Structure 1
Amino acid sequence: MLTKAYGAHAADKPLVPMDIERRAPGAHDVQIDIAFCGICHSDLHQVRSEWSGTIYPCVPGHEIVGRVSAVGDAVTAFNVGDLVGVGCMVDSCQHCHSCEDGFEQFCENGFTGTYNAPTADAPGHTLGGYSQQIVVDDKFVLKVTHGEEQLAAVAPLLCAGITTYSPLRHWKAGPGKKVGIVGIGGLGHMGVKLAHAMGAHVVAFTTSESKRDDAKALGADEVVVSRNPEEMAAHANSFDFILDTVAASHDLDAFTALLKRDGTLTLVGVPEHAHPSPDVSALIFKRRSIAGSLIGGIAETQEMLDFCARNGIVADVELIAAEQIEGAFERMQRSDVKYRFVIDIATMAD
């Protein structure tokens, strides 16, 4: 069946309205009428072919929320009318060690991304959430228990939320822990909110003095301007964990020096150019670690959504019409958003 969408036909072409084909729901499928879809910086990278392997037409979007409009005969966990979400994955092999352990994002045979991944459906690759409707295997659909009035601000939790929640949980952020969040953007603002809700002492790092008050309003106990050597030095050897959300190449040594013995700096941003090689002596002599983390499995994503619902956590968003997507991409490149653009999919009907 045809549904309206926004996508690009080439790396140097703007996103434009298009009609795309969605499969009819199979026995284990959930059909979702999309209400809102967040705009992730990775959408921009993929559409513009800044990451290799973009397949056109490219319809991005993996921060999807909406309402179930049909279910397959074998679906028992969802009913028509349910509020649901879909994140960065719509399938995985389901039988490798990672999938069996609930870490589908590390599927050893490669998970199926919500867009730009090979699929049997027309046109041969997945098409994402910048569209009116999507059909997804029920194992990759999440329940949303926030109020419907919060739905637009829930959408970014499906990527920005789980990308920060998963490492904070894995490295046990909580009471008695000093946790740093580097970067106050789409990911970083969620990291501050989540770490604060987990009970950690939260220090936000920003390059901009103008973001000091904003970071405190998000829940940071302290704010450090990372370009100020004195402010950085005051926190040397004191952090249990630092989550680095910055997707631009930068010096990691400035942050590893702030870790306690056995502390960890975890990266979730993929830079266009590699970070400068870190000073390994700073790691060796304090048994510090530099690690990475990728979204989260389906069970952990559901856990994150439930945690956020219980604690009243949503993203700070700017709602836009579909015709404003191209302008939002341009603003996002200038970091001109607090802190996530979300598309009102109802505007595609116009």
Structure 2
Amino acid sequence: MGHPERRILGGMTHTSVSAYAAPAPKAPLERITIPRRELGAHDILIDIKYAGICHSDIHTVRAEWGDDGAFPIVPGHEIAGVVAEVGAEVTRYRAGDRVGVGCFVDSCRECANCLAGLEQYCTGELGNVGTYNATGRDGETTYGGYSTHIVVDENYALRIPESIPLDAAAPLLCAGITLYSPLAHWQAGPGKKVAVVGLGGLGHMGVKIAHAMGAEVTVLSQSLRKKDDGLRLGADHYYATSDPATFEELAGTFDLIVNTVSANLDLNAYLGLLRTDGTLVQLGAPENPLPVAAFALIPQRKSIAGSMIGGIQETQEMLDFCGEHGLTADIEVITADRINEAYERVMASDVRYRFVIDTATI
């Protein structure tokens, strides 16, 4: 991995770095050079070591969420690396620190949610600034972690515990916090019965985290094909949702169901698995609306909710929790020239359970 090259662009000094980008919607990703801003007083330059591949990266570069985006798009919001340089007024980090960057790199810092540590739900004019395919405070497009270096404000970086390898830490910045946040919010723990729908990139982290929290964990998957994996990861039970008997046997069982699946499921059937006052939390983002019958909710005071990643404080809490309990993502490390192949394998569910790019190969 070469050192970043400084050059003048648009009257400002930028750092030029290598990256992989989608040049247009649905186009294969290819190697390009992108600008990174010079360090501000509170910025840190991160030498990216690993970048995870998230399903949302694929949705974005293939324009599957109805927005063509600001191409070329450099995806990647699961970033693990080492601080290379710090700005003049940085106090949180110093060169050599192990750090991560998740799904956003800035927010308004002034709204009630930001002040409460819920930056992921920022309601200010700036809004939540995504790590890629967004517009930053400086008016420039953000580029993500499929690159050799990134510059971020110190307040939006996370410290990665020494006990977590950097490659296996990368997916925690999205998949890890996406599951930790609802499990913590709805108080998964001893005496609670938690179901995880889907055993994929998100679901496998849900099983690990819920188990470490002390909950009784059940995986609800379309088939029993991954049952051995589910039990190895910490599940107490594993059921196939393709079997109608599952919904009869487990009726009224769970305090909490976290649905990681992006396909359109019959939520009314899953709501039938909740106890009185139980909650189904939707994490996956299916293409079509999710119809819910009123009487799937009313008789037992059940709830359906949504959740999205976590704020900076909660994400740090998640990383520390994973460090204390020895939790990491199950990963397959790839070279950058295999990104397009990895995308196809993600779409075919042919990965257990997250791809991570070795950015030294960019």
Q: TM-score, normalised by structure 2?
A: 0.94
Please give the alpha-carbon distance, in whole angstroms, between the structure 1 residues aligned to 2:351 and 2:173.
18
Q: How does 1:119-130 map to 2 (within 5 A)?
A: 119=136, 124-130=140-146
Aligned with residue 59 of structure 1, among 74, 87, 105:
74
Divergent runs of 4+, >3 A: none
The answer to whether the aligner puts 1:187 opposite 2:187 as a matched pair is no
Matches within 5 A, 1:22-101: 22-53=36-67, 54-101=69-116
Separation in structure 1 between the aligned mates of residue 78 and residue 288 of structure 2, nearest angstrom: 25
Partner of 1:206: 221
Return the offset for 1:265.
0.2
- C-alpha separation between the residues in 2 aligned to 1:272 and 1:146? 39
Q: Where does residue 312 of structure 1 map in the other structure?
A: 326
1:220 shift after superposition = 0.2
Partner of 2:147: 131
Q: Does 1:116 align with 2:130?
A: no
What is the Cα deviation at residue 90 of structure 1? 0.2
SS at match of 1:284: coil
CA distance in 2, matches of 1:147, 1:312: 7
**Equivalent residue, structure 1, for 2:7:** none
Query: Is the 8 Å Cα contact of residues 224 and 232 (structure 1) preserved in structure 2?
Result: no
Give 3-state SS (helix, strand or coil) of 1:57's partner. Answer: coil
Q: Secondary structure at the match of 1:210?
A: coil
**Does residue 271 in structure 1 map to residue 262 in structure 2?**
no
Q: Does 1:340 align with 2:357?
A: no
| Aligned position for 2:233 | 218
Q: Which amino acid aligns with 1:33?
A: D
Equivalent-residue separation in structure 2 for 1:151 and 1:80 (angstroms): 16
Distance 2:346 2:296 in 1: 34
Residue 155 of structure 2 aligns with an amino acid whose one-letter code is K
State the one-letter code of the partner of 1:186: G
Aligned residue type for 1:117: A
Pairing of 1:219-298 with structure 2 (within 5 A): 219-275=234-290, 277-298=291-312
Q: Deviations over 1:49-102 (max 9, x none)?
A: 111331101000000000000011111110000000000010000000000000
Alpha-carbon distance in structure 2 between the residues aligned to 1:61 and 1:91: 15
Provide the residue aligned with 2:33 in structure 1.
19
Q: Are the equivalent residues in 2 in contact too, given 1:22–1:121 (CA < 8 A)?
A: no
Corresponding residue SS for 2:225: helix
Distance in structure 2 (CA, Å) of the matches to 1:52 and 1:3: 29
Provide the secondary structure at the position in 2 that maps to 1:173: coil
SS across alignment from 1:337: coil
| 1:193–1:219 Cα contact (<8 Å) kept | yes
Residue identity opposite 1:179 in structure 2:
V
Q: Aligned partners of 1:166 and 1:5: how far apart in 2?
A: 30
Is 1:196 the counterpart of 2:211? The answer is yes
One-letter code of the match for 1:268? Answer: L
CA distance in structure 1 between the aligned counterparts of 2:213 and 2:26, rounded to whole angstroms: 43
Verify the 8 A CA contact 1:249 1:273 in the aligned structure 2: yes
SS at structure 1 position matched to 2:202: helix
Name the SS of the counterpart of 2:64 in structure 1.
Answer: coil
8 A contact 1:23–1:121 mirrored in 2? no
Which residue is equivalent to 1:151?
A: 166
Contact 2:163 2:326 (C-alpha < 8 Å) held by counterparts: no
Q: Check whether the contact 2:223–2:239 (CA below 8 A) recurs between aligned residues.
A: no
Q: Contact 2:168–2:331 at 8 Å: present in 1 too?
A: yes
Residue 273 of structure 1, CA deviation: 2.2
Contact 1:196/1:220, CA 8 A, preserved across alignment:
yes
Deviation at 1:211, TM superposition (A): 1.0
Amino acid at match of 2:256: F
1:121 Cα offset (Å)? 5.4
Whether contact under 8 Å (1:34, 1:131) holds in the other structure is yes
How far apart in 2 are the matches of 1:151 and 1:64? Answer: 9
Change (3 A) 1:120 1:101: closer
8 A Cα contact 2:106 2:136, kept in partner: no
How far the C-alpha of 1:231 sits from its partner, in A, is 2.2
The one-letter amino acid paired with 1:222 is H
